[in-house]
Amino acid sequence: MAHWRMSPNLELNQVVDRLNAAGADIMNLAFGESRLPLLPSLADLLTAAAHRTTYGPVAGTPAVREAAAGFLGRRGLPTDPEQVVVAPGSKPLLMAVQLAVPGDVLLPRPCWNSYAPQARLAGKAPIGVPITAEAGGVPDPAALRATIRTARARGLDPRLLICTLPDTPTGTLAPPRLVRAICSIAEDEDLVILSDEIYRDIVHDPGTEFLSPAEVAPHRTVVTNGLSKSMALGGWRIGLARFPAGARGEQIQAGVLGAASDLWSTLAHPMQEVAGYVLGDPPEVRERLAASARLHGSVARTLHTVMVAAGARCRPPTAAFYVYPDFEPLRAPLAALGITDSHSLQQYLFEEYDIAVLAGHKLGDETGALRFKASTSMLYGRTPDEQLEALDSADPAALPHIRRATRRIEAAVADLRSRCLVEDSV
Amino acid sequence: MAHWRMSPNLELNQVVDRLNAAGADIMNLAFGESRLPLLPSLADLLTAAAHRTTYGPVAGTPAVREAAAGFLGRRGLPTDPEQVVVAPGSKPLLMAVQLAVPGDVLLPRPCWNSYAPQARLAGKAPIGVPITAEAGGVPDPAALRATIRTARARGLDPRLLICTLPDTPTGTLAPPRLVRAICSIAEDEDLVILSDEIYRDIVHDPGTEFLSPAEVAPHRTVVTNGLSKSMALGGWRIGLARFPAGARGEQIQAGVLGAASDLWSTLAHPMQEVAGYVLGDPPEVRERLAASARLHGSVARTLHTVMVAAGARCRPPTAAFYVYPDFEPLRAPLAALGITDSHSLQQYLFEEYDIAVLAGHKLGDETGALRFKASTSMLYGRTPDEQLEALDSADPAALPHIRRATRRIEAAVADLRSRCLVEDSV
């Protein structure tokens, strides 16, 4: 533990901020911060809640737990307030669930960069399982069965499976068929599922069917969510978890509350008041969620088009605000530029084009793969006015200030491709 | 980890709140929450900071780190802002330091109830060392040397020593002589010191000399502090840590930032803005700190008198808002009432007198000892008006509403004593 490294997304974000503050103009596609203005009424709510200075219950106040239960119920998960725990972000809740569930942990490969370090802290071996060509966030079912067998043969004890629905880094949503297949394996193998649904309210097409593992395997699935992504409130640190009804769920929840009591006490009380309002889904919040999803989708599709035009393979994004291109088709010519893995690909984009992306190996992917995660969420404008214009637009990617940003990326990867082709033809 | 228990102070607080909400009238001396009204200007600050919705640096914004550096500098610890990390409470920082420093951990016995569970999470053995009759928060120096020897002989590897200055549960402040003795041992034995100074600004007599281990052993001492206790802002979750200058300090800080990035990301951004103001020590904050210390001291001294009158031994409180009485002088007669250890003593007070205290064994003390922690911090009034009156008073313990509270405790322990004497004379 003495040589714990800073998580790569937060670290790179700080590096970019420092360089830009010193006069650089680096485009930050490496950090999943939804940079959109505060919904104005939330400032008033925070003011009204300022006098809440007591600790209160570790799990959260009855009011916020009830609001969260309603929020989850309206999303297909009927919930008793007693099943809910709120916290300063979903990150500490994910950590606490890893502490509360014994055994080792299965992760989609690639996946969000904090699951594996959290697993190691909890004394777990993180076991990566490839995703399908269709969608990320859940493992390929056949690979999952095979990996569990292999892991057990190696003396590991996989007992927890983390899923991300919708997914970071791929910006996709696992379809119901895949979710059912995974849940069936979880039943067969007696796995607890931890379904990270922080991007639940950022599905680009409102008609998309969303199926949570908690609907299919209700007694073995913990769900986490929060306001950081959907409401662009990362800096307010508001997360929640829903534990399964029944004895197993209660045991996991008791372990999480124990860890919470010794690690963070509770979510800041004024933030609980804000969460209680937002989780009630009032009309202005529903409107903001819809506008945000439209914006994220519009820009993510543009970035997808740009990557494919440059020669990459890339799953079409349908949720969240990421694309995860694979430059494997250009492996030979990229090698001539010294780009042989995700690390050198990230470095090249940073040094040649001032574009920061997150190399796939930092997300558990194969080091040799030519993949990276690119977030669209900081491309929506430099000022609140530009960002509001983007939220209000029926075609956000066509706005001049957003086009400038996506064209810069387009020019960079087009230039990369042309350098490849030149090298290749030499 | 699957059977992690809720920390006893937070758990008991929830039980008491639930019972009182259902109509009981339990006096809560078990929880260290300073129940005083919000300093009004902080509500305006929170409002002004509401638009801060970005994550920002894990360690905190440059502004809050600079304010914290000034705060520490004015308290005898010249500090570069780079040495500072803020977090949602000092609790996660204490956890992260235990993760970042290898080896096992030495704790004063008794001590705050979250150090030992955090140690176990970090894979450390918690090693208790008795305190002196004079003050808690640091081990008895002779016992410390002996315990280190014994621990090493048992195959343990003590590398970290946690001190609490001023102390919970004893409400005392280790005098400079004792701090120097401890630091000298830390030098000899190459221990890192983690000095939890969350009660730093609650010293009853403003003339009391405060010596931090960071002044004596600057290159091996990490200091934590926060606004939960001194500013009665527990529910806002604002903590900070100061790391030593030099290579060792930088290594510990890097480990803490790594853990922070995967466990909690950062302190909520609006709270960082509030902290930046309060840590600047403006006049209204200094006045509030002075009034709070006077109030805590006045009521703690009254509780001390009450306990001693009932036949207990008790260190005179000089800081924070606790007393830690020892009913050993009444052991034989208490045994006749079925009270034979701290657990049964806590139970008896709860069941017979509706008074909640925290049994000493939950703080690492010997189970058989007849000791408990009692906090004065929720005795200051049931309404903000009563609490403000208490803050304004030159003699808070003499106010009618506070006298009612302390007399109820007095009556309870006097009755306990009289029951003892009756039993004893049978």
Report CB contact under 8 Å: B17, A57. yes
Q: Give the one of A88, A234, A255 whose C-beta lies nearest to B4's C-beta.
A: A255
Considering the domain boundaries, does residue B426 fall inside one?
Answer: no
User: Do B104 and B240 belong to one domain?
Assistant: yes
Cβ contact A138:A165 at 8 Å: yes
Structure tokens at B113: 């109830």
User: What pLDDT is stored for residue A2 in this prediction?
Assistant: 41
pLDDT at B138 over 60: yes
User: Do A276 and A293 belong to one domain?
Assistant: no
**Mean pLDDT on B80-97:** 98
Residue numbers of B between 77 and 96 with CB closer than 8 Å to A: 88-89, 91-92, 95
pLDDT at B11 over 90: no
Question: How confident is the prediction for chain B on average, in pLDDT?
Answer: 95
Structure tokens at B212: 């931090």
Kindly list the residues from chain B whose CB atom is less than 8 angstroms away from the CB atom of residue A37.
51, 53
CATH number assigned to the domain comprising residue A404: 3.90.1150.10
The domain boundary residue, chosen from B281, B297, B332: B281
User: Do A204 and A300 belong to one domain?
Assistant: no
Q: Encode pLDDT of A144-162 as tens digits.
A: 999 999 999 999 999 999 9
Where are the alpha helices (H) located in B154-230, listed in sequence order?
A: 176-189, 213-216
B92 CA to chain A: closest CA distance, Å? 5
Is the torsion defined by CA of A298, A300, A306, A308 positive or negative? negative
Please give the Cα distance from A261 to B30 (Å, whole number): 15
Please give the Cα distance from A79 to A75 (Å, whole number): 10
Please give the Cα distance from B102 to B100 (Å, whole number): 6
A20 CA to chain B: closest CA distance, Å? 14
Chain A contact present for B47, CB below 8 A: yes
The domain boundary residue, chosen from A246, A281, A316: A281
User: Do A245 and A387 belong to one domain?
Assistant: no
Q: Which of A118, A83, A84, A79 is nearest to A100 (CA)?
A: A118
Chain B contact present for A73, CB below 8 A: no
Considering the domain boundaries, does residue B313 fall inside one?
Answer: yes
Chain B contact present for A383, CB below 8 A: no
DSSP B326-341: B-GGGHHHHHHTT--S
Report CB contact under 8 Å: B266, A56. no
A130 CA to chain B: closest CA distance, Å? 23
Cβ contact B30:B356 at 8 Å: yes
**Mean pLDDT on B77-106:** 98
pLDDT at B111 over 80: yes
Its ipTM equals 0.95
Cβ contact A420:A337 at 8 Å: yes
Kindly list the residues from chain B whose CB atom is less than 8 angstroms away from the CB atom of residue A262.
4, 7, 91, 95, 114, 117-118, 121
Chain B contact present for A14, CB below 8 A: yes
Considering the domain boundaries, does residue B2 fall inside one?
Answer: no
Cis peptide before A110 (omega within 30 of 0): yes
User: Do B301 and B407 belong to one domain?
Assistant: yes
- Which residue's structure tokens are 């009563």? B386
Considering the domain boundaries, does residue B3 fall inside one?
Answer: no
CATH number assigned to the domain comprising residue B134: 3.40.640.10
Q: Encode pLDDT of B146-185 as tens digits.
A: 999 999 999 999 999 999 999 999 999 999 999 999 999 9
* pLDDT interval class at B8 (50, 70, 90): confident
Kindly list the residues from chain A whose CB atom is less than 8 angstroms away from the CB atom of residue B102.
1-2
Please give the Cα distance from A290 to B274 (Å, whole number): 32
Task: Write out the residue range of the structural domain in which residue A373 sits.
Answer: 8-31+285-419
A235 CA to chain B: closest CA distance, Å? 4
| E strands, B209-362, in order | 221-226, 239-242, 322-323, 355-356, 358-359
**Mean pLDDT on B50-72:** 96
User: What pLDDT is stored for residue B423 in this prediction?
Assistant: 64
User: Do A268 and A315 belong to one domain?
Assistant: no
pLDDT at B3 over 60: no
User: Do B291 and B262 belong to one domain?
Assistant: no
Residue numbers of A between 201 and 240 with CB closer than 8 Å to B: 232-237
Report CB contact under 8 Å: A100, B237. no
Q: Encode pLDDT of B349-399 as tens digits.
A: 999 999 999 999 999 999 899 999 999 999 999 999 999 999 999 999 999
A182 CA to chain B: closest CA distance, Å? 24
Interface test with A, best of B265, B272, B362, B380 (most A CBs within 10 A): B265
The domain boundary residue, chosen from B262, B281, B300: B281
User: Do B196 and B291 belong to one domain?
Assistant: no
Mean pLDDT by 10 residues, chain A (426 residues): 72 90 93 93 94 94 98 98 98 97 98 96 96 97 98 98 98 98 98 98 97 98 97 96 97 96 96 97 98 97 97 98 97 95 96 96 96 95 96 96 96 93 66
pLDDT at B44 over 90: yes
Cβ of A309: how many Cβ atoms within 10 Å? 12
Q: Encode pLDDT of B70-88 as tens digits.
A: 999 999 999 999 999 999 9
Residue A194's beta-bridge partner residues? A162, A222
Please give the Cα distance from B72 to B287 (Å, whole number): 18
Indicate the length of chain B as a whole number: 426
- Which residue's structure tokens are 């297949």? A181
User: Do B15 and B63 belong to one domain?
Assistant: no
Cβ of B96: how many Cβ atoms within 10 Å? 31
DSSP-based three-state secondary structure for A268: coil
Considering the domain boundaries, does residue B415 fall inside one?
Answer: yes
Residue numbers of A between 52 and 71 with CB closer than 8 Å to B: 52-58
User: What pLDDT is stored for residue A422 in this prediction?
Assistant: 76
Q: Give the one of B51, B88, B101 whose C-beta lies nearest to A38's C-beta.
A: B51
Q: Encode pLDDT of B310-320 as tens digits.
A: 999 999 999 99
Chain A contact present for B100, CB below 8 A: yes
Q: Quick one: closest CA in B to A94, which residue? A: B263
Chain A contact present for B40, CB below 8 A: no
User: What pLDDT is stored for residue A41 in this prediction?
Assistant: 95
Considering the domain boundaries, does residue A3 fall inside one?
Answer: no
User: Do B316 and B251 belong to one domain?
Assistant: no
Report CB contact under 8 Å: B114, A88. no
Chain A contact present for B123, CB below 8 A: yes
Q: Which of A251, A244, A282 is nearest to A80 (CA)?
A: A244
Chain B contact present for A308, CB below 8 A: no
| List of residues 6+ apart from A372 with CB closer than 8 A | A324, A325, A342, A345, A346, A349, A357, A358, A359, A360
Considering the domain boundaries, does residue A70 fall inside one?
Answer: yes
User: Do A308 and A400 belong to one domain?
Assistant: yes
* pLDDT interval class at B295 (50, 70, 90): very high
**Burial annotation B3-28 (CB, 10 A radius, 16+ → b, else e):** ebebbbbbbbbbebbebeeeeeebbb
Query: How far is the CA of B268 from the CAs of A54, A89, A307, A371, B273, in angstroms?
Result: 17, 9, 35, 32, 9
* pLDDT interval class at B230 (50, 70, 90): very high
Report CB contact under 8 Å: B46, A270. yes
Q: Is A311 left (phi over 0), alpha (psi -120 to 50) or beta?
A: left
Q: Quick one: closest CA in B to A377, which residue? A: B54
Chain B contact present for A261, CB below 8 A: yes
Cβ of B404: how many Cβ atoms within 10 Å? 10
Half-sphere exposure of B97 (CA within 13 A, CB side): 30
User: What pLDDT is stored for residue A3 in this prediction?
Assistant: 53
Burial of B385: CB neighbours in 10 Å, binned 0-12, 13-18, 19+: exposed
Domain count for chain A: 2
Considering the domain boundaries, does residue B386 fall inside one?
Answer: yes
User: Do A272 and A295 belong to one domain?
Assistant: no
